[in-house]
Structure 1
Amino acid sequence: MNPLTVFGVMVVIISLVCFFYLLQSRSKWGVLGFGLSGILVAIYEFLDGNWWFGVFGAVWSLIGLGRWWLGRNSN
């Protein structure tokens, strides 16, 4: 496996772990992890040449980071 594939597998695993709403609803750090993993997904997709999926990952990261930003002072 080349380094890009290894990076992609790690990004997908991190994204799936952070995507679970159970984790997100219990912790603001789960929401932050989801937003940051979206950035990693976008980086991977751009490096792999999948521009549309890179844009999609960037949008999801903005949504996750926005949710974290708005909810960081609650509780």
Structure 2
Amino acid sequence: MDALQLFGLLAVTAMLIRYALEDHRRWFILPFAAACALGSIYGFLQGAWPFGLVEAVWAVVALRRWSVRPPLMA
């Protein structure tokens, strides 16, 4: 496994964990967005630009969800 594959594995693992936790607290959505951005970077670096593009969209969607979710909700 080279460094790029390890980076991708860590990014996607972080995405999965943060996605599973984002219903518990509003602040889990922000790290999910960051993990999506890392997944996007991985996709573009690997040459799989459709994956990179989709992950970039997911990052924007997650940022939007974080910004509209009431801060006092769990």
Give CA deviations for 1:21-66 in whole Å, capped at 9, x if unaligned: xx21111121111111110010000000011111100000001011
**What TM-score results when the alignment is normalised by the length of structure 2?**
0.89
**What TM-score results when the alignment is normalised by the length of structure 1?**
0.88
Q: Structure 1: give runs of 5+ residues left out of the alignment.
A: none
Displacement of 1:73 in angstroms is: 3.0
Displacement of 1:72 in angstroms is: 5.3
Instruction: Give the root-mean-square deviation of aligned CA atoms.
Output: 1.2
Q: Structure 2: give runs of 5+ residues left out of the alignment.
A: none
Please list every run of at least 4 consecutive aligned residues from structure 1 whose deviation after the TM superposition is greater than 2 angstroms.
Answer: 72-75
Tell me whether 1:10 sits opposite 2:10 in the alignment. yes
Displacement of 1:5 in angstroms is: 0.7
Q: How many pairs does the alignment contain?
A: 73
The structure with the greater share of residues assigned to helix is: 1
- Return the letter of the residue paired with 2:66: W
